[in-house]
Amino acid sequence: MKKVLVTYEIPENGLEILRKHFEVDINKTDKPLNKEYFKKNISNYFGVLTMLYDPIDKEVLNRAKDNVKIISNYAVGYNNINIDIARDYGITVCNTPGVLTNATSEIAFGLMISIMRRIVEGDKYVRKNNFNGWRPKLLIGEELKNKTVGIFGMGRIGKAFAKKCNGFDMNIIYHDRNQLNPEEEKKYNAKFVSFLELIKKSDIISIHAPLTEETKHSFTEDTFDKMKNGTYIINTGRGAVIKESDLVKALKEKKIKAAGLDVYEHEPEIHNELIDMENVVLLPHIGSASKYAREEMSRMAAQAIVDVYKGIAPENKIV
């Protein structure tokens, strides 16, 4: 029986799909597998179900090329995999788009309302026994209504986020490498703008772009300097779209009023100054962490491996 490696334990429904066809090895430790492990062991497997942090680079793929037929990434993004080399070696790569769209957009929206209405600050204030009754100026925040939200990356998640913003009477502008057609712009009540216009006009910026050579460090000191004073920033896309040290500087100088982050530039490491900032809400990369989304991701990632084994073109094939 051919073998499949699952690099971190996933919901059981996906494992059940795999066990019907393969011998399944699962990393049940709480630590990611390192590059040396992949180089030493990857050639033993027909397929590998990877996490978004697994380093599937040229060296690893060079060891995989003779036996591995598919790498199925338990994520939408796949910047952890060298796609060009996988293509050259004839290794199929799949991801799990679509099913985490709503879950991630909900987290982005939750972060936005949390930092603007100072919800987490309020929770901490009460838990420290500081609450002595209603006060006229206690933890005053800002309403979402009539604010301009700038969406950086108008793919599935960006659109789902825009839909939620419409329910709160927000003005929506967006920047993406591809402008939506007029019907979609009307549907989401969203206006396409240049990147410069996005950062200058937005009261809130929500990042939903993937990490590419183009988008890496799109938000740096220079970018923050062009924003309105007191802009809010949300990132549920990829951490390295923001240069974290420059964000810290902008927060300290109050150029950025508050930030809500679910992803980090050097994940899982977080800039130590962000930890102590009251105007920053930090989450442990839980954008897709709903029961529905994670179980569907499990099913999709597993089914892709089975499909390749059966000679069927998988649904979410990248290469």
Catalytic residue among 118, 175, 208, 238: 238
Q: Which amino acid, residue 83?
A: I
Write the pLDDT tens digit of every residue in 264-291.
999 999 999 999 999 999 999 999 999 9
Token pair of 177 as six digits: 């490498």
Residue with tokens 């338990």: 74
Torsion angles phi and psi, residue 241, rounded to 5: -65, -25
Please determine whether the domains at 3-99+291-309 and 101-282 fall in the same fold group of CATH.
Answer: yes
Mean pLDDT of all residues in 139-148: 98
Give the pLDDT of residue 57. Answer: 98
Torsion angles phi and psi, residue 152, rounded to 5: -100, 100
Catalytic residue among 142, 197, 267, 273: 267
Token pair of 81 as six digits: 């995999």
Write the pLDDT tens digit of every residue in 62-102.
999 999 999 999 999 899 999 999 999 999 999 999 999 99
Domain spans, the chain:
3-99+291-309, 101-282
Q: For residue 10, which of 96, 110, 102, 105 has the smallest C-alpha distance?
A: 96
Give the pLDDT of residue 278. Answer: 95
Please give the distance of CA 258 from its chain centroid, rounded to a whole number.
19
Distance between CA atoms of 93 and 78, rounded to whole angstroms? Answer: 9
Catalytic residue among 59, 217, 285, 295: 285
CB pairs under 8 A, 24+ apart, for 54-62? Answer: 54/7, 54/80, 55/80, 56/80, 56/81, 56/82, 56/86, 57/82, 57/85, 58/82, 58/85, 59/35, 60/35, 61/85, 61/86, 61/89, 61/91
| pLDDT above 70 coverage of the chain, percent | 100
CATH architecture of 3-99+291-309: 3-Layer(aba) Sandwich (3.40)
Which residues does 42 contact at the CB level (< 8 Å), separation at least 6?
Answer: 5, 48, 60, 63, 64, 68
Give the pLDDT of residue 309. Answer: 98
Give the pLDDT of residue 303. Answer: 98
Distance between CA atoms of 132 and 138, rounded to whole angstroms? Answer: 11
Give the pLDDT of residue 298. Answer: 98
Structural Rg of the chain based on CA atoms: 21
Give the pLDDT of residue 293. Answer: 97
Give per-residue burial for 126-159: e unless 16+ CB within 10 Å, then b.
eeeeeeeeeeeeeeebbebeebbbbbbbbbbbbb
- Judge whether 238 counts as a catalytic residue: yes
Which residues does 59 contact at the CB level (< 8 Å), separation at least 6?
Answer: 35, 39
| pLDDT above 90 coverage of the chain, percent | 100
Write the pLDDT tens digit of every residue in 96-105.
999 999 999 9
Give the pLDDT of residue 127. Answer: 97
- Judge whether 285 counts as a catalytic residue: yes
Give the pLDDT of residue 157. Answer: 97
Give the pLDDT of residue 24. Answer: 98
Distance between CA atoms of 304 and 316, rounded to whole angstroms? Answer: 8
Give the pLDDT of residue 172. Answer: 98
Mean pLDDT of all residues in 119-123: 97
Give the pLDDT of residue 130. Answer: 97
Mean pLDDT of all residues in 4-13: 98
Mean pLDDT of all residues in 7-19: 98
Distance between CA atoms of 32 and 285, rounded to whole angstroms? Answer: 15
Distance between CA atoms of 5 and 3, rounded to whole angstroms? Answer: 7
Give the pLDDT of residue 273. Answer: 98
Distances (CA, A) of 59 to 7, 37, 121, 198, 229: 18, 12, 46, 39, 46
Residue ranges of the alpha helices (H) in the chain?
Answer: 12-19, 35-41, 58-64, 83-88, 101-116, 119-127, 156-166, 182-188, 195-201, 221-225, 244-252, 272-275, 291-309
What is the per-residue DSSP string for 60-121?
HHHHHTTT--EEEESSS--TTB-HHHHHHTT-EEE---STTHHHHHHHHHHHHHHHHTTHHH
Mean pLDDT of all residues in 170-187: 97
Give the pLDDT of residue 294. Answer: 97
Give the pLDDT of residue 221. Answer: 98
Give the pLDDT of residue 236. Answer: 98
CATH number of 101-282: 3.40.50.720
- Judge whether 267 counts as a catalytic residue: yes
Give the pLDDT of residue 233. Answer: 98
Reduced to 3 states (helix: H, G, I; strand: E, B; else coil), residue 148 is strand
